[in-house]
Amino acid sequence: MTTDPATTPATANQEVFAETITELARENSDMLVVTSDSRGSGKLVPFGEAFPDQIIEVGIAEQNLVGIAAGLASTGAHVFAVSPAPFLTARSLEQIKNDVCYSDHPVTLVGISAGVSYGALGTTHHSIHDIAALRAINNIRIVVPADAAETRMVVRAAAAAGEPVYLRLGKRPVPALPGTVTEASVFHRARRLCNGSDAALLACGEAVAPALAAAERLAAENIKASVHSVPCIRPIDTNSILDAARNASAVVTVEEHSVHGGLGEACAALLLHHGIHKPFRIIGFPDEVMVNGSQQEIFEHYGLTKDGIVAVTRQLLADS
Amino acid sequence: MNDSALMRKSIACRRRVLEIIHHAGAGHTGGSLSCVDILTVLYNAVLRISPDNPGDPARDRYIQSKGHSVEALYAVLADRGFLPDEELQTLCGYRTRLIGHPTRKVPGIEQNTGALGHGLSFGVGAALGLRRKRCDARVYVLLGDGELAEGSNWEAAMSASHHRLDNITAVIDHNGLQITGAVRDVLGVDPLVERWAAFGWSVCECDGHDIPRLRAALRREPIEPAKPTLVVAHTVKGKGVSFMENEKGWHHRVPKEDELERALAELDRAAAELGEVERT
Ligand SMILES: [Mg+2]
C-alpha cells in the first residue's frame, strides 16, 4: 500500500496494531489475544468488547502470559501475547526462550510502549535491552515497524507466518513515511525511503522519522543521505544493508535501544563480515544510567533527533 | 490393561531407565524412578493418545514440567510404541533426539521443558485452547515438589482456577527430596494440600506407586466441576531399588556396573514376586 505523508495523520503504532488485530479476529476465530492487565495500554478495550471469546486475561503475570500463549498456540490458535515490552522481554525472557522459541510455537509477542515510550516513569519501564536479548535467542523474528503502514503489514504478516515473532511497538503518534509498503518490504526487507550517496541512515521504529527529517535537513547543506527503515532486525536484510553501505561514504544507524546489541551492532557486524569498511556511528542509548525525562527529552538528550542525527552525520563525513 | 500388567510395565520401565542412564553415563535416576509409575498409568490406562497419530488434535496432552526425569518418559514412550526401544541407547548422545530434557523432536512429547516452573502455564494454555475448540481432550502436567518454589507455578495455579478449567489435572511427584536435600529443609511446600485448595484447586492424595490408586486418582474427570484437579502423589525418590530409595545423592548419580547389576537383580526379584502373586 502507498501512503501520502502529507495527507495521513500521525498515528501510534500500537493503535494501528489494535485496529489490525481486530480485523484479523473478525476474519479468523482462531486469532487470539492474551493480555496481562494490559488491554488498556494496548488499546485493546474495544477488541475485548467485540471479541470476548478471543481475548484471554491472565492478570499481572507476564511469565504466565507467555507460557499460556504457547499452550494456546499448541492447540492450533495464532496467539498475540500483548504486554509492555519492558516486562514482556525481561521478566518472561525464559518463557520466550523455552516455551515459544525453543518449543517452536507460532506466538507473536507484542511488546507495547517499547523503548523509552514510558520515558518519565524510569528505567523499570524502559525496554532498551529487548532487541539485544532476543537477538541472541534462536528462532524468533524481531520486527520494529516505523509507521502505520508498516505496522499494519507486519501484524498481518505475523498472523500468517506460523513462527515466533517479536513485534516492538511504541505509543507515540508517528507520521506516515513515504513510499510503498508490501508485506515483504517490512516483514523481511529493509526499505529505502530516499536516496543519497554521501551517507546511509539506517533506522527502525520511532527513530525512522527523525532520520528522514535529518536527511531533508542535510540535503539543504548539500549532503545527500539515503534513509532506510529496517523493520526486520532479525533475520536482518543482509543485501539491503550491504547495498546501502556500499553506495554511501558513511553509515549512521539510529535506534531507540541500547547501543549494545541492537540494529547498529547488527549492521556493524554485517559490514565487517563482508569487508565493507566505512566510517560508522551508532546512535542509541549509551551504557550509563539513563537520563530521566519524557521520551522526547530522552531522545533530545541522546541525539535521536533531526539535529542530533544531522550533527553526527556531518561530523562523521568531515572526519573521514 | 489390568493392574498387574501395569505393574509389570513399571518394573520393565525401571529397568530401561537404569540401563539407559548407565549406558549414557548421564541422567536423573532418582526422580525418574519416583515418577515412572505415574507415567505408566497415564500412558497405558488414562491418556487418549496413539503412537500412530501423535499429532491428533483431539489427543490428551501430557506435559512433564519436571523435565529432568525424562528417562522415565522416554522408557514409557518407547514401551508405548512412540519410538523404537533401541533408540533409547542414544540418550544424551551427539545429535540424538533423546536430549537430557524433553523436546518436541520426540513423537508424543508436547513441549520442551527442563527449566522448572514452565509446564503448568503451558498446560493451562493448552486447556484453555482445547476448551475453546470444544474438544474434550484432557491435559495432565507433572510437577516436582522442589519445583514448586518457582513462583510461575503459582501464577499458573491462580489462572487455572480463575478460568474455571476442569479439563486439567496437575500431578505433584511428592518425593520430599530435591538436589540439595529434603524439600522441607530447602524451601518447605507444606501445607501443600491446603495451599492448592486455597488457590482454587480440588485436591486428592494418593500413594504414587500404588497402581490401582493412581489409576483412580488420574481419571479423566475433574474431582469437582469447574475446578482444576491436583493429585498429590506421595512417592519415594529412587523407588524400586533399595539402595537408591530416599537417597538425595541419586538425584543425578549414574549407576556403576556393579550398582546396575544389583539394581536390576532387585527389579528381577520384584518381577518374580509379582508373577508368584499372580499365580496364586
Ligand atoms: Mg522432589
**Residue B178 corresponds to which cell in the numbers above?**
530435591
Measured CA angle at B68 (ends B54, B116), to 5 deg = 95
Q: Amino acid identity, residue B10?
A: S
Kindly report, residue by residue over B89-99, the tens digit of the pLDDT.
999 999 999 99
Give me the pLDDT at residue B183, please. Answer: 97
Give yes or no for residue B229 having a pLDDT over 70. Answer: yes
Q: What's the gap in Å between the CA of A34 and the closest CA on chain B? A: 10
**Is the domain of A195 the same as that of A158?**
no
- Pairing of the two strands A173-174 and A11-12: antiparallel
Helices (H), chain A: 13-27, 45-50, 62-73, 85-88, 93-94, 130-135, 148-161, 183-187, 208-220, 238-246, 263-273, 295-302, 306-319
CATH class in words for B3-279: alpha beta
| Farthest-apart Cα atoms in chain B, separation | 53
**Is the domain of A169 the same as that of A194?**
no
**Is the domain of A217 the same as that of A143?**
no
Nearest neighbour of B126 by CB, restricted to A66, A74, A102: A74
**Is the domain of A17 the same as that of A157?**
yes
Instruction: Give the separation between CA A170 and CA B276, rounded to whole angstroms.
Output: 71
CA-nearest of A99, A87, A39 to A61 is A87
**Is the domain of A117 the same as that of A260?**
no
Give yes or no for residue B111 having a pLDDT over 70. Answer: yes
Instruction: Give the separation between CA B105 and CA B159, rounded to whole angstroms.
Output: 29
DSSP label of B146: G
CB A226 within 8 Å of CB A252: no
Q: Collect residues with CB below 5 Å from ion ligand 1.
A: B 144-146, 175, 177-178
**Is the domain of A25 the same as that of A90?**
yes
Domain limits at A86? 9-174
CB B102 within 8 Å of CB B109: yes
Q: What is the CATH number of the domain that holds A235?
A: 3.40.50.920
Instruction: Give the separation between CA B35 and CA B37, rounded to whole angstroms.
Output: 6
The size of the A-B interface in CB pairs under 8 A is: 103
Domains of chain B by residue range? 3-279
Q: What's the gap in Å between the CA of B118 and the closest CA on chain A? A: 7
How many angstroms is it from B31 CA to the middle of ligand 1?
Answer: 7
Measured CA angle at A97 (ends A94, A98), to 5 deg = 85
pLDDT band at B278 (very low <50, low <70, confident <90, very high): confident
The ipTM is 0.97
**Residue A259 corresponds to which cell in the numbers above?**
547501543
CA-nearest of A66, A59, A98, A61 to A81 is A66
Q: What is the CATH number of the domain that holds A155?
A: 3.40.50.970
Instruction: Give the separation between CA A174 and CA A191, rounded to whole angstroms.
Output: 17
**Is the domain of A78 the same as that of A125?**
yes
Kindly report, residue by residue over B197-221, the tens digit of the pLDDT.
999 999 999 999 999 999 999 999 9
| Residue A180 is assigned to a structural domain of this protein | no
**Is the domain of A80 the same as that of A19?**
yes
The three-class DSSP label of residue A269 is helix
**Residue B67 corresponds to which cell in the numbers above?**
523435565
**Is the domain of A310 the same as that of A256?**
yes
**Last residue within a domain, chosen from A141, A174, A207:** A174
**Last residue within a domain, chosen from A174, A204, A237:** A174
**Is the domain of A206 the same as that of A142?**
no
Domain count, chain A: 2
pLDDT band at B277 (very low <50, low <70, confident <90, very high): confident
**Residue A141 corresponds to which cell in the numbers above?**
523474528
* Sheet hosting strand A107-112, strand order edge to edge: A55-57, A31-35, A78-84, A107-112, A165-168, A141-143, A232-234
Q: Alpha-carbon Rg of chain B, whole angstroms?
A: 18
**Residue B122 corresponds to which cell in the numbers above?**
503451558
Residues of chain A short of pLDDT 50, as ranges, are none
**Is the domain of A53 the same as that of A140?**
yes
| Residue A182 is assigned to a structural domain of this protein | no
**Is the domain of A145 the same as that of A289?**
no
Give me the pLDDT at residue A320, please. Answer: 87
Give me the pLDDT at residue B60, please. Answer: 98
Q: Best residue in B152, B153, B163 to probe A by mutation, most A CBs within 10 Å?
A: B152
Give me the pLDDT at residue A5, please. Answer: 61
Give me the pLDDT at residue A2, please. Answer: 56
**Residue B207 corresponds to which cell in the numbers above?**
500413594
pLDDT band at B115 (very low <50, low <70, confident <90, very high): very high
Q: What's the gap in Å between the CA of B110 and the closest CA on chain A? A: 8
